[in-house]
Amino acid sequence: MSVSAKEKKLWGGRFSGDTAPLVERYTCSVGFDLRLHAQDIDGSKAHASMLARQGIISQSECDAIHQGLEQIRGEIADGTFVWRQDLEDVHMNIEHRLTEIVGTPGQKLHTGRSRNDQVALDFRLFVAACLDEWAANLRSLIGVLAQRAEEHHDVLLPGCTHFQPAQPVSLAQHLLAYAQMFRRDHDRVRDALARTRISPLGAAALAGTTHPLDPGQVAATLGLGGTFANSMDAVSDRDFVLEATFCGSLVMMHLSRLCEEIIIWANPQFGFVRLPDAYSTGSSIMPQKKNPDVAELMRGKTGRVYGDLMALLTLMKGLPMAYNRDMQEDKEPFLDTHDTVAPSLSIMAGMLLELGFNRERMHLALKAGFLNATELADYLAAKGVPFRQAHHITGAAVAFAEQNGIGLEDLNLAQLQRFSADIGEDVFAVLDYENAVARRHVPGGTGPQSVLNQIADIASWLDSTS
């Protein structure tokens, strides 16, 4: 004999007919929101404790609920918990099983609570845990970048603008630029956490509840920073998901930029880096190939996180107050974002630790693009030549050197003085690449002491940041 919807659905009292099988499959979310089971159990335990403190349920009923929920946690962990599609979501699956275990106390757990504020709480706890993981992974990656920068603080390579050789910089400066990007990402993630760790429990469906709840107790039990200010906003707000996904999009954008440079540098025509075997693959037909597939795939995965953000923005843009079932669609985009961002950060840290840097190839590349031209222009300006004239003089010298297939530093004094009588023997020290870098000692610049100061600053930040 079939079981009616009225008997098998926790919300089925008003219904006499069964849900259509296709609709049941279409509306079921347990296939993905089961990942929120730990947060659902934690939130339910906090809610039960508050109900007992407020005298709404007895302490013995609260204890039974806690024991039952911990039994369910164990069943989920060991794989014996049966997830039922007909129970729709993680919340009703757990509540149904709890009632099977403890009886009547399980039916009292939902007092003063709606699935609207329940799912908002669960998701906030889940997103907060993900942001904590991202922050930890970002710290690790920043530490690796600082470590590799310190190891290579004396290595020079061409710095580019418009992807054309511009000026010599230290490899450390280049790596530290990414450290600063990820440091800002870390700060954004931590800032988003403050707005995520707000408890909506007590808002109920949308208007609050007549039961004498204490939302602050629930928030304190769960380690949250505050409670909702408006019950309608509490159940309909998904800003925290959007903000987290935006943070994830920025993280992936920065990772993608770094991947792009690794891919370019690994090309033998550059040869600036040697890919570690553990983070590259080969070709099925060309035995000489060593492909930067990991970096390429990470670069490609950036687009899917952007898509997740756009999906969430589109989801929320037309929703009236308060909760709408559309919001069920907020889970999968964020889950996808987390499943992309968290491992990408860990993989990048591992790849950078093993990445080999070829200082000889980088040094040879310095001579290919007249990267010391700005030094000559600045030298002439320091001699009193108006900078625009110095710029034209240097451009003419570069053209002459290029025609002769040599660098500016390879021209002799007589050749250089053809372009300006203000050029003296001291120009050759200025044209030296190491000196060009060393002279840029402005704070944040590429000079050796500035770079060491940047490394020390990051080390201090790492020591004081979680």
Measured N-to-C along each axis, helices 115-151 and 239-266 cross at an angle, to the nearest 10 degrees, of 30
Do the Cβ atoms of 212 and 56 come closer than 8 Å? yes
Q: 222 by DSSP, 3-state: which?
A: coil
Per the structure block, which two tokens stand in for 276?
């570690």
Do the Cβ atoms of 333 and 290 come closer than 8 Å? no
Do the Cβ atoms of 295 and 263 come closer than 8 Å? yes
Strand 164-170 vs strand 156-161: parallel, antiparallel, or unpaired? antiparallel
**Cα–Cα dist 67/64, whole Å:** 5
Strand 198-199 vs strand 226-227: parallel, antiparallel, or unpaired? parallel
Do the Cβ atoms of 276 and 357 come closer than 8 Å? no
Strands annotated E in 142-182:
156-161, 164-170
Q: Confirm whether 283 is a catalytic residue.
A: yes
**Cα–Cα dist 219/9, whole Å:** 30
Q: Confirm whether 152 is a catalytic residue.
A: no
Q: Please pick, among 2, 16, 162, 466, the residue that the annotation labels catalytic.
A: 162
Q: Please pick, among 4, 58, 60, 283, the residue that the annotation labels catalytic.
A: 283
Residue at 118: amino acid letter: Q
Q: Within a 10 A sphere around the Cβ of 445, how many other Cβ atoms?
A: 18
Q: What DSSP string runs through 253-265? A: HHHHHHHHHHHHH
CA of 307: how far to CAs of 6, 390, 429, in Å? 39, 49, 52
CB environment 368-392: b (16+ within 10 A), e (fewer): ebbbbbbbbbbbbbeeebeeeebbe
Taking Cα atoms as reference points, which of 408, 465, 458, 464 lies closest to residue 179?
458
Do the Cβ atoms of 340 and 247 come closer than 8 Å? no
Q: Within a 10 A sphere around the Cβ of 405, how many other Cβ atoms?
A: 7
Catalytic residues: 162, 283
